[in-house]
Structure 1
């Protein structure tokens, strides 16, 4: 539509009065449940940002921090652990919310922030969000946003440097024909990891074969076919660098299905160092990023904002390091 959605737009679409929409937004009595449900569905579908109205009528803080994730999976689970640990004895409670990976569309976080802020939460942490400006009137911190530094305070890891470290490890083992299975195309972390891979290859004077660069979307299921294609090539790669551990786990499984031994026939390295990476067969060599610390750092930024403190560094970047296990070996 291109213009900001107004309360009048919501009322017109829902077939009710503006006063009724206002009552629903602010949780007042006198509205039938069916009407309330219909109005909230319209607010969701139109992306109406109702938080400013709700906050204007709020007389107290909830002392609840929301954390929004696309789905509950190993990476976000570690973020949640770090966030929860950072809030221990802080006086704040944590509300975890998922919009669901499929069917939400770009900017789903903004729609749900509009519904949660001002009534349920004082502020929010967004994990891998698609929004760069929350526009909801409450403090928000983003972890691994889809773009670089934004209008929001952000926390991420040294994705470029980590990919350089991982690639250098494979090069030092003698590998030259190295495949790269990338992550989500809409995330800055994915772009930086591929850039780091290419930079390390260039520094070593090893050309990147673009036929060996595939997209895996950071998901185990969507990585299996790209890996199968790579490992079925007549001149298959001797090593696979996967942009996250879930994709690397898919590589381990596909290699085994094809009768290839890891690391004797093909080396595999991941990125993240989720707890499951130490339990694969063989244990996965990976680039460690301090995932729980990402959650804790985001909470530190957010509580500072909520408590009226100053944030001297709004964009925090944490270091990465190599964890050597059994899935990589000399060529």
Structure 2
């Protein structure tokens, strides 16, 4: 069989050999459309990115994470990943992106290429599907790759997931069982697997109530406390009989708490409020109930996948671990 060369890759991609070299070595500028053509050509020709002996790996894990300005979840996840990596003898390099889409992910992967990392962990991927050229680049990295939460379209890679539907159902079912006749859900307006799963869990609990209550849904366009406060103000203004509130995040719960405080409504005596992620809820006044996300366990599961697949990426099967959140009640002593 003929050995595939960079010239073959260049001809198929319609670019110069030097452009292929720059993409392979992560050096110099290559226009995005030409870069995509090269990566697709690498995939199509079967060119092996590592036909020369690879540089020695170092005990370094690349963390590519969403920088969330409206919550503490990813900050807590970063700390947990660094702690878990250190426990396994690895250092970490953290790269943040305010919008972790395919383009941002590709940029970070190219940066990591020069550091000879031993593994890559991605948290908070924002697009619905990983594009083919990014998928090829990840596979060609030669190191274990793990995606944490928000992993839509990422089949074929190691994944650590939360059962978001179960968490939302637990919270909503709690409000139903407490006898609330008017229930409000404040959710982020984004069409992703996480938001959809939480909405599914909420609606399942509402359907099981069999028409014995009324529920309301308010969508927020960002993740801030203020936008949740505004959503609560609009909802309570239209439906003053609301006594149970479930929110998409603890940040949203804090916004609801601000509204209730300003209107002299007590929690939980007048209105019961339940957050989601349990990163901020314990520190609020009063402390709120929240769906606890097992963040440390998520980090440990990701690092276990990294360590057990060192040196055997090509032979390893993709693994998915799904962890169960739990509702933590506060203020009912």
- Shared fold (TM-score greater than 0.5)? yes
CA distance in structure 1 between the partners assigned to 2:33 and 2:236 by the alignment: 44
CA distance in structure 1 between the partners assigned to 2:38 and 2:218 by the alignment: 38
Is residue 297 of structure 1 aligned with residue 301 of structure 2?
yes
CA distance in structure 2 between the partners assigned to 1:99 and 1:9 by the alignment: 33
Match of 2:166 in 1: 161
Is residue 88 of structure 1 aligned with residue 86 of structure 2?
yes
Is residue 314 of structure 1 aligned with residue 319 of structure 2?
yes
Q: Shift in Å at residue 209 of structure 1?
A: 5.0
CA distance in structure 2 between the partners assigned to 1:257 and 1:53 by the alignment: 63
Change (3 A) 1:68 1:324: same
1:150 equivalent among 155, 169, 179: 155
Aligned length: 305
CA distance in structure 1 between the partners assigned to 2:136 and 2:318 by the alignment: 21
Match of 1:323 in 2: 328
Deviation track 1:241-281 (CA, whole Å, cap 9, x = no partner) reads 0021111111112222344332233221011111x221101
Match of 2:112 in 1: 116
Deviation track 1:172-224 (CA, whole Å, cap 9, x = no partner) reads 221121111123524312211111111112122246756x2122357124433
Match of 2:252 in 1: 247
Deviation track 1:64-123 (CA, whole Å, cap 9, x = no partner) reads 21111120551112212222222225332211111223xx65552134223323644232
Change (3 A) 1:223 1:107: farther
Is residue 98 of structure 1 aligned with residue 96 of structure 2?
yes
CA contact (8 A) 1:144 1:187 kept: no
CA distance in structure 1 between the partners assigned to 2:18 and 2:150 by the alignment: 37
Q: Shift in Å at residue 22 of structure 1?
A: 3.0
TM-score (norm 1): 0.78
Alignment of 1:18-167 (within 5 A): 18-19=17-18, 22=21, 26=25, 36=28, 39=29, 42=31, 55-56=50-51, 58-72=54-68, 73-101=71-99, 105-117=101-113, 119-129=115-125, 130=127, 131-132=129-130, 134-136=135-137, 137-138=140-141, 139-147=144-152, 150-167=155-172
Q: Shift in Å at residue 18 of structure 1?
A: 4.9
Structure 1: stretches of 5+ with no match in the other structure: 1-5, 29-35
CA distance in structure 2 between the partners assigned to 1:263 and 1:56 by the alignment: 64
Match of 2:179 in 1: 174
CA distance in structure 2 between the partners assigned to 1:91 and 1:61 by the alignment: 13
Q: Shift in Å at residue 300 of structure 1?
A: 1.1
CA contact (8 A) 2:292 2:328 kept: yes
TM-score (norm 2): 0.77
Matched position secondary structure for 2:309: helix
Alignment of 1:182-201 (within 5 A): 182-183=187-188, 185-201=190-206
Match of 2:291 in 1: 287
Deviation track 1:136-179 (CA, whole Å, cap 9, x = no partner) reads 12332111125276222211112111111111211222112111
1:224 equivalent among 216, 229, 232: 229
CA contact (8 A) 1:224 1:250 kept: yes
